[in-house]
Structure 1
């Protein structure tokens, strides 16, 4: 197992359990205790966990994995969701994409749509996510508008008043939101209030709003609200979403697409 794969697995275990012992982690990953101690020390130096005697705990109360370590979580579900979301976008539209692993997959799904391979542009994409802009900028069929702002390392998203200025001058056909949590009562939410503020502006500038979220995000709350549930037109999620959960969103007037 490579170091990056090992670090990803360690951080995943920490998110799930909140605390890990060296011996426990070594057994889980089939490596030596010395290797795990070294990994914990290096991750602690990057402020991605807190070292304890004999182990590690998550860093802070509201722990958030950096984007590069989230990519393997629910990967197949995110790919299916992304393909379904991309199918809801029509040629010629202006689309807003927030940051996140699911919206990154949406960008990739749009990039391989055959009917968007021509046109000038076939699609206008507005995003505050540096990684999404980087992937799509080489595609001549897309006009890419980047909001500006200050980069947030965990998500590669641009935040702050510089982004506000751009979003206040544009109109979108559709905004696609990646979220940390989505609940009928509490709405769509993120961990970071500055990201939530930019995502909220994208929603306000859009004719319709799509939440792209795997089932693990549903029925949950997070620190910073992006928008109320009634601001969302469509939820695209995976088939593991419970029938009661789907019913609550449907009763709230949200179209639910499961894949």
Structure 2
């Protein structure tokens, strides 16, 4: 297992339990105690945890998990969601928008591997990098201020670049989706740019694994009425999905 994946799993465990031990992590991650201690030090240096004798505890301040550490979490589910989303891009779809996130990144890779002509607009630097070498993709990148946690370009420059654009489909990753709270993310500037991207679309499709369903993050991106479809995995809670359907969202589970 790569160190980056281990770091993400350690932070995931901390978020759930508040504490981790070197002994438990050694067994769970099939790594040596020395490797786990180096991992904990690397995370402490970024103020993402506080080391203790024999382990670590969660930092007093809750930080948004950087995207590089989210890669690998719920990966199988995200791959299935991305494949289902790619099937929506039929021959009648000529333009799509892709927001940032791990699941939209998987979707970008799926679309890039097909080889069909398609215009893609994105504000995500990593997605732009993946698609820039695909000759069939007509790629448009918004510009804007870089948000390191998500590799997204956000702010007024990005918002202005999206004004006046029309896209057939927009695929958006979120940190929370809830029937009454709408869709949400951790950063208010990112939320504004995401909403500008949504406004370019004939249809908005949210891609979110089950850990996001029924949750609300810090800032609302848009009310649920602006979402046409949610693609999630089968572990999402049935009551949450029923409330979303009742609110008019088409829900696909994979």
TM-score of the alignment, normalized to the shorter chain, above 0.5: yes
**Unpaired segments ≥5 residues, structure 1:** none
1:150 is aligned to 2:151: no
- Per the alignment, residue 99 of structure 2 pairs with 98
- Per the alignment, residue 232 of structure 2 pairs with 237
Alignment of 1:177-196 (within 5 A): 177-196=172-191
Q: Partners of 2:163 and 2:52 in 1: how far apart?
A: 46
Q: Partners of 1:184 and 1:42 in 2: how far apart?
A: 38
Alignment of 1:75-224 (within 5 A): 75-91=75-91, 92-113=93-114, 117-118=115-116, 122-224=117-219
- Per the alignment, residue 9 of structure 2 pairs with 9
Tell me by how many angstroms 1:32 deviates. 5.3
Q: Partners of 1:226 and 1:165 in 2: how far apart?
A: 17
**Unpaired segments ≥5 residues, structure 2:** none
Q: Partners of 2:252 and 2:241 in 1: how far apart?
A: 9
* Structure 2 CA distance for partners of 1:26 and 1:234, relative to 1, 3 Å: same
Kept in 2, the 8 Å contact 1:15–1:63? The answer is no
Q: Partners of 1:33 and 1:77 in 2: how far apart?
A: 30
Q: Partners of 2:166 and 2:60 in 1: how far apart?
A: 37
Q: Partners of 2:139 and 2:54 in 1: how far apart?
A: 48
* Structure 2 CA distance for partners of 1:245 and 1:256, relative to 1, 3 Å: same
Q: Partners of 2:188 and 2:80 in 1: how far apart?
A: 28
RMSD of aligned alpha carbons: 2.1
**TM-score normalised according to structure 1 size:** 0.88
Q: Partners of 2:191 and 2:62 in 1: how far apart?
A: 15
Aligned pairs, number: 253
Q: Partners of 1:90 and 1:31 in 2: how far apart?
A: 44
Q: Partners of 1:63 and 1:196 in 2: how far apart?
A: 17
* Structure 2 CA distance for partners of 1:2 and 1:252, relative to 1, 3 Å: closer
Secondary structure at 1:80 match in 2: helix
Kept in 2, the 8 Å contact 1:62–1:191? The answer is no
Pick aligned residue for 2:221 from 223, 226, 229: 226
Tell me by how many angstroms 1:61 deviates. 4.1
